[in-house]
């Protein structure tokens, strides 16, 4: 048999709705690929591992130093043992979420592949939105830092605002009552800024950013290139449509908090909804997506919300 050259997605064999029934793993496999690395929580928080009980016990605000200083030792003196202090003990419970999509006998008979693809895409988008909303609710407990001038106003200084936020995070420290000392900090170092993509064109038109690209690097000017750089003040830029448009989050990724799964994101194979032929009395088959996840902040001062970025 002669070989067939495939140079685009439309050159391969056409997929029919009936193929989803013949291979019940097609839809869950597609959903799994579409949802890989799509949740903002997995980009900003560290993975605390599986926890089948769904109960996550943790401490908030653990100091970064031992409770005792390092001793000066004379010859033959005993080396003392110390320990790290703990923050405030807290507990968070996981939340189970899920949704399914259907394939009907009519879709199969009429080969309505577009309708199936739209459902799969809508389920993917809904899962991302729901997870990002949950993450945003948790991250909403991070302290706020209102900027003096909104970024869409003349003479605003987003570079200065971002630098001030980085400084505030670096200076975060536990009080003496929280187990800290006068010269002790949490040692946080911000490395990420998260914002709504609607803020991107505002920053691209801001004179405070544009003035950096003058002289012998004018060819890198944001207005000329048509895109923001990959970093601002060495902060990696992450965009999320779930984010509010009037604020941006600056944080040390993986330090500010954690997530853990009592049930990882799971998809069922396509199965008939009822007994009998043709998918049962409704003539439908379905695939379900479920997840049970808990999220919490154990170092909320490792981040800072810049607020008031857009005029009301």
> How does pLDDT run across 235-274, given as a tens digit for each residue?
988 888 888 899 999 999 999 999 999 999 999 999 999 8
In the predicted model, what is the mean pLDDT of the chain? 84
Question: How many Cα neighbours within 13 Å face the side chain of 78?
Answer: 3
The domains located in the chain, with CATH, are 17-68+81-141+257-297 (3.30.2400), 144-256+300-307 (3.30.2320.10)
Coil, strand, or helix at residue 179? coil
Residue with tokens 């997870």: 131
Per-residue pLDDT band for 294 (boundaries 50, 70, 90) equals very high
Q: Rounded distance, CA 245 to CA 307, Å?
A: 10
The residues, ordered by sequence, that sit 6+ positions from 251 with a Cβ below 8 Å of its Cβ are: 44, 142, 169, 190, 191, 192, 194, 302, 303, 304
Per-residue pLDDT band for 94 (boundaries 50, 70, 90) equals very high
- The pLDDT of residue 214 is 44
pLDDT at residue 54 is higher than 70: yes
- The pLDDT of residue 219 is 38
């Amino acid at each position: 048999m002669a070989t067939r050259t495939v140079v685009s997605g439309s050159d391969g064999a056409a997929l029919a709705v009936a193929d989803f029934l013949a291979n019940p793993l097609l839809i869950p496999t597609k959903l799994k690929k579409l949802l890989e690395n799509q949740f903002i929580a997995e980009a900003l928080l560290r993975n605390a591992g599986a926890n089948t009980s769904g109960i996550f016990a943790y401490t908030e605000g653990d100091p970064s130093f031992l409770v005792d200083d390092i001793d000066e030792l004379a010859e033959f003196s005993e080396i003392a043992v110390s320990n790290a202090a703990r923050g405030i003990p807290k507990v968070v419970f996981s939340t189970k979420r899920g949704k399914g999509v259907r394939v009907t006998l009519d879709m199969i008979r009429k080969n309505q592949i577009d309708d199936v693809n739209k459902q799969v895409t809508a389920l993917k988008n809904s899962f991302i939105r729901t997870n990002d909303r949950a993450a945003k609710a948790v991250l909403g407990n991070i302290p706020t830092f209102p900027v003096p001038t909104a970024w869409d106003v003349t003479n605003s200084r987003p570079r200065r605002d971002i630098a001030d936020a980085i400084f505030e995070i670096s200076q975060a420290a536990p009080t003496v009552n929280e187990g800290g000392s006068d010269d002790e900090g949490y040692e946080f170092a911000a490395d990420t800024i998260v914002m709504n993509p609607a803020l991107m064109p505002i920053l691209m038109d801001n004179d405070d950013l544009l003035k950096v690209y003058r002289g012998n690097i004018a060819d890198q000017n944001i207005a000329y290139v048509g895109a923001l750089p990959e970093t601002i003040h060495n902060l990696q830029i992450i965009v999320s449509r779930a984010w509010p448009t009037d604020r941006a989050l600056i944080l040390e990724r993986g330090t500010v908090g954690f997530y853990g799964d009592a049930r990882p994101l799971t998809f069922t194979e396509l199965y008939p909804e009822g007994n009998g032929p043709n998918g049962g009395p409704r003539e439908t088959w379905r695939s379900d997506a479920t997840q049970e996840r808990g999220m919490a902040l154990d170092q909320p001062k490792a981040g800072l919300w810049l607020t008031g970025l857009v005029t009301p």
